[in-house]
Amino acid sequence: MRVKIGELSRQTGLSVRTLRHYDALGLLTPGERTTGAHRLYSREDAERLWQIQALKSLGLSLEAIRRVLGDPGHDPAELLRRHIEHVEARVREEQAYLARLRRLERAGQPTWSDLMEVIRMNEESRKKVDRMLETAREVGGEGSQNFDEGQMAYLRERAEAVGQTRIEEVQREWPELMTEVLTELERGTPPSDPRVKALAERWHALVREFTGGRQDIGEGLNRGYERRMTPEMQAMWDYIRAASR
């Protein structure tokens, strides 16, 4: 079986742009090309693509997936642990959603519009978190625009000191933390509430872990975010600031 990129895209539901991105990363590079330089994917390539998508479902980054697939001796126990953490995070998200539904039930005689509104709020929260995480990745990718050469060197040293495993753990912690903050914000919980103050402390702890506590690095990050600040991000930033006072 040999198929071009468009056909593989149709069969898998993945965009051509995604498949080209995987190729650029060295994650899924087809072994053959046509005389016109079009990519040709084999059955083995399709199986590797399935493996990539399966590992993505565990919450692994593309770089982590590339390392795993490039190391046949990689310990499955480590992947199992990460998958457990990923599922636990999803369970916590669903528990927060369940709590919203139960509050609606306790309120008595809910209408269809009430139920649809809770469902809409849950979907909106997920979309907001996805948008904010995408912004964070873009800001991180623009490091040279936000930091000078010395700061970039420090950040590289900091990443090495923290270690790739911890970096990936933090990447999985952010969506959970953002979801919890948004839940309290939409609930109308005051910033002075101990639950919100605890969330703010977790937030600052993750930032300190990345910046090493350096104020100039934090300010560089803030400049990057301010250029891309969405209304929901601004609301969350203000909420965290208020809880930190």
3-state helix, strand, coil in the chain (%, to 5): 75, 5, 20
Domain final residue, candidates 42, 69, 96: 69
| 61 shares its domain with 139 | no
Give the pLDDT confidence score for residue 192 in this predicted structure.
92
Claim to verify: residue 106 and residue 25 sit in the same structural domain? no
Sign of CA dihedral 122, 124, 126, 132: negative
Q: How many domains does the chain have?
A: 2
Residue 102, pLDDT score: 82
Same domain assignment for residues 129 and 192: yes
Residues of the chain falling short of pLDDT 50? none
**pLDDT value for 243:** 92
Q: Which of 48, 69, 90 is the last residue of a domain?
A: 69
Question: How many contiguous H segments (helices) and E segments (strands) does the chain have?
Answer: 12, 3
Task: Record the tokens describing residue 213, joined without a space.
Answer: 């506590």
CATH code where residue 44 lies: 1.10.1660.10
Q: Do residues 89 and 22 share a domain?
A: no
- pLDDT given for residue 111 in this prediction: 78
pLDDT digits (tens, 9 = 90+) for 21-49: 888 888 888 877 766 667 788 888 888 88
Residues 100 and 149 in one domain: yes
The domain boundary, picked from 31, 46, 69, lies at: 69
Cα–Cα separations (whole angstroms), residue 19 to 5, 65, 68, 223: 7, 15, 19, 32
Q: Which residue segment(s) compose the domain that 164 sits in? A: 76-244
Q: Cα separation of 86 and 96, whole Å?
A: 16
pTM for the model stands at: 0.48
The separation between the first and the last C-alpha atoms of the chain, rounded to the nearest angstrom, is: 62
Q: What is the pLDDT of residues 153-162, one digit of tens each?
A: 887 788 777 7
